[in-house]
Amino acid sequence: MKEKSIQDWIYVILQFIFFLLYLQDFTILSWEISKDAKILFQLIAGMGLLFSILAVLSINTLVSPFPSPKKEMQLQTKGVFAFARHPIYTGILILFYAWGIAQASTYKISIALFFNLFIYCKARYEEQLLREKFPDYKEYALKTGMFFPKLFK
């Protein structure tokens, strides 16, 4: 097995830190959300979690927190990968934002915003590695959105 780069480890450690920070809760700005809106955003958060789980199940044992693709990995373009190049990240982003809104937590929404910036950088790095490994990746990227489906192709 190929050794992971320092950059791979940095991305994984930072992602773990973001998850730990998200689990905390601090009141930055107090606001309220209606019971109906709270339920709606909890459902949306659940859908985000489900989307990530479907993506993980579709790549099964090849899932890894590291951006470098595994040696035995094949280019995934079917299922949830037909809609987004990084559906696991998409689901996590939806979960983070929606749960933060459902909890009326400015702190969680702030963490989600910073995580969004971080995950974009990680995805860009990952895509650079995927383009090197898979010649068809460039064409796939032109047709498929990074985190959400492309509306215009």
Q: How many domains does the chain have?
A: 1
Helices 106-133 and 87-102, axial angle in degrees (round to 10): 180
Can you give the pLDDT at residue 61? Answer: 77
Residue 151 lies in a domain: yes
Q: Is the pLDDT reported for residue 1 higher than 80?
A: no
- CB contact at 8 A, 93 and 116: yes
Residue 98 lies in a domain: yes
What secondary structure letter does DSSP report for 146?
A: S
Residue 31 lies in a domain: no
In sequence order, what are the residues at sequence separation of 6 or more whose Cβ sits closer than 8 angstroms to the Cβ of residue 54? 79, 80, 87, 91
What secondary structure letter does DSSP report for 148?
A: S
Percent of the chain predicted with pLDDT > 70: 97
Residue 20 lies in a domain: no
Residue 3 lies in a domain: no
Residue 67 lies in a domain: no
Residue 129 lies in a domain: yes
Residues 78-86 have a mean pLDDT of: 93
Residue 23 has, within 13 A of its CA and on its CB side, a CA count of 6
pLDDT bracket for residue 4 (50, 70, 90):
confident
- CB contact at 8 A, 144 and 150: yes
d(CA 107, CA 120): 20
Question: Which residue range is the domain that position 82 belongs to?
Answer: 38-61+77-153
d(CA 123, CA 135): 18
pLDDT digits (tens, 9 = 90+) for 20-74: 999 998 888 889 999 999 999 999 999 999 999 999 998 887 888 999 998 888 8
Residue 12 lies in a domain: no
Q: What is the pTM of this model?
A: 0.92
